[in-house]
Amino acid sequence: MEDKIIRIVTIVGARPQFIKAAVISRLIANEYSGAISEYCVHTGQHYDHNMSKVFFQELLIPEPDINLEVGSGSHGRQTGEMLYKIEEALLQQKPDWVMVYGDTNSTLAGALAASKLNIPVAHVEAGLRSFNRKMAEEQNRVLTDHLASLLFCPTGVARQNLEDEGIKAGVEVVGDVMYDASLFYRSMVAEQRSVPPDNFYLLTLHRAENTDYPERLTAIVEALNSLNNFKGVFPIHPRTRKALEREGLRLKAHIKVIEPVGFLEMLRLEEACEFIVTDSGGLQKEAYFFAKPCITLRDQTEWVETVEAGWNVIVGADKEKIVTAFNDIKSDNRSAHSPTFYGNGRAGAKIIEKIINIQGKSFKEN
Ligand code: UD1
Ligand code: UDP
């Protein structure tokens, strides 16, 4: 009984999840295949080549076992279609655990489908809070955390957030799998830098709270356009491309708009840039990992330690604050930086070992 292979179904669907799940999938395939088998369900939330397939090609992980091809839609339609399609996959696979990552609609659909079938859920990146319940991501992460049996927190702050909501059982602070990913894949690109260091800032922008509110999007574009002594590189999310077209907004030539890039190219850009301007959760941390100052185009952040450490400044969509933050950017405090908030690059291994441990115990009890 103790030798039984633990069957995990991993649910992914959106770009950052492919990167987070790659850390665990790679470890399972290379180091834990005798203990765990993984079946990967891609919901199809992201589907463009540069939003999905490129990650499976680059990150040394197997293609998903099934793609549910749910695609884009309103929150209810998208999450609902995922829910019943994931349920079908889980009924067929009968896993011991379902693993979900982060805070997207794919995360919530996976957690809900599993818990209604009484399959235990492990949530990676548990406990993050913006305390803004209007954000779809906040709704997704709160609900997922309350459904999960194992909650893998990147930081002590995340654990405290869970405790404040009465969640104590099954909580483990393991570090951040994104830090593991940055370390591992950065070593892969170290030898082949295609982007020379240069005076440019790296821009990403895709959050609904910016793209879906014309006054916010306009303020951001006007601020960036006015900062014409700063060169920008902007891998644009399809949501943002559509929003700019819809609003008739154009970025000026000092901001180079490019297609979304694969993770390896992103790491090269992060290494080469002077600073990062973003509304992405992942980019805020990667800025910190790479010791690059970060300007965050949101009204609050889940990654509060980067702000407390002085590496991240929150400016929302406020034109004046954006311009001031650009002019205040100092990249000369890099030597004071030490990436201690997010673990030691072994979050993935800790997660797997915890699951093996727990499963072993319940096998013994049975
Ligand atoms: C989702 C997550 C967000 C995460 C982001 C990562 C939710 C609620 N939001 O936001 O937390 O930060 O992924 O990138 O789950 N589109 C394409 N091609 C694609 C994917 C999307 O054209 O491959 C366009 C469609 O017009 C779609 C829009 O982008 O309607 C938004 O996509 P969706 O997956 O709903 O949300 P994201 O903004 O990507
Ligand atoms: N990313 C990427 N290519 C891009 C933009 C982002 O590989 O063109 C990576 C980025 O480095 C980070 C992750 O995707 O690891 C973050 O995803 P995103 O910003 O889409 O979502 P969020 O983190 O805000 O949920």
Name the residue of 46, 207, 298 whose CB sits within 8 Å of the most ligand 1 atoms, as the mutation to test its pocket. 46
Q: How confident is the model at residue 335, as a pLDDT?
A: 53
Q: Helix (H, G, I), strand (E, B), or coil: what is residue 278?
A: strand
> In the chain, where does the domain assigned CATH 3.40.50.2000 lie?
6-176+343-365, 194-340
Nearest residue (CA) to ligand 1, atom 7: 104
Say if ligand 1 is within 6 A of residue 285 CB: no
Q: How many CB atoms lie within 10 A of CB 187?
A: 10
* C-alpha angle 258-286-278 in degrees, rounded to nearest 5: 50
Quick one: DSSP state of residue 64?
Answer: P
Residue 231 has phi, psi (to 5 degrees) of: -85, 135
Quote the CA–CA distance of 319 and 297 in Å, as a whole number.
10
Cβ atoms of residues 89 and 41 within 8 Å: yes
Q: How confident is the model at residue 362, as a pLDDT?
A: 55
Residue-level pLDDT, tens digit, the chain, 366 residues: 446 899 999 999 999 999 999 999 999 999 999 999 999 999 999 999 999 999 999 999 999 999 999 999 999 999 999 999 999 999 999 999 999 999 999 999 999 999 999 999 999 999 999 999 999 999 999 999 999 999 999 999 999 999 999 999 999 999 999 999 999 999 888 766 566 666 899 999 999 999 999 999 999 999 999 999 999 999 999 999 999 999 999 999 999 999 999 999 999 999 999 999 999 999 999 999 999 999 999 999 999 999 999 999 999 999 999 999 999 986 555 556 667 899 999 999 999 999 999 987 654 443
Q: Which CATH architecture has domain 194-340?
A: 3-Layer(aba) Sandwich (3.40)
Nearest residue (CA) to ligand 2, atom 13: 16
Cβ atoms of residues 178 and 169 within 8 Å: no
Q: How many CB atoms lie within 10 A of CB 181?
A: 26
Say if ligand 1 is within 6 A of residue 42 CB: no
Token pair of 255, please?
């901001």
DSSP secondary structure, 291-357, as one string: T--EEE-SS--S-HHHHHTTSEEE-TT-HHHHHHHHHH---TTGGG----TT-SS-HHHHHHHHHHH
What are the tens digits of pLDDT across the range 195-244? 666 689 999 999 999 999 999 999 999 999 999 999 999 999 999 999 99
Q: Which ligand does the CA of 241 lie closest to?
A: 1
Say if ligand 1 is within 6 A of residue 307 CB: no
Quote the CA–CA distance of 105 and 80 in Å, as a whole number.
9
* Strand bridging mode 231-235 / 255-258: parallel
Nearest ligand 1 atom to alpha carbon 106: 15
Cβ atoms of residues 48 and 21 within 8 Å: no
Which CATH class for the 6-176+343-365 domain? alpha beta
Token pair of 354, please?
């915890």
Give me ligand 1 centre to Cα 30, in Å.
31
49 is catalytic: no
Q: How confident is the model at residue 1, as a pLDDT?
A: 44
Q: Is the dihedral of CA 232, 228, 323, 325 positive or negative?
A: positive
Name the residue of 105, 206, 266, 297 whose CB sits within 8 Å of the most ligand 2 atoms, as the mutation to test its pocket. 266
Q: Which ligand does the CA of 72 lie closest to?
A: 1
Q: Helix (H, G, I), strand (E, B), or coil: what is residue 331?
A: coil
User: In the structure, how many helices (H) and strands (E) does the chain have?
Assistant: 15, 13
**Residues with Cβ within 6 A of ligand 2?**
15-16, 19, 204, 206, 235, 260-263, 266, 280-283, 286
Quote the CA–CA distance of 142 and 285 in Å, as a whole number.
21
Q: What share of the chain is helix, strand, coil (3-state, %, to 5)?
A: 50, 15, 35
Beta bridge partners of 314: 296
What are the tens digits of pLDDT across the range 244-266? 999 999 999 999 999 999 999 99
Q: Is the dihedral of CA 74, 76, 80, 86 positive or negative?
A: positive
Residue 33: C-alpha distances to residues 7, 132, 143, 189 (Å) = 11, 40, 31, 26
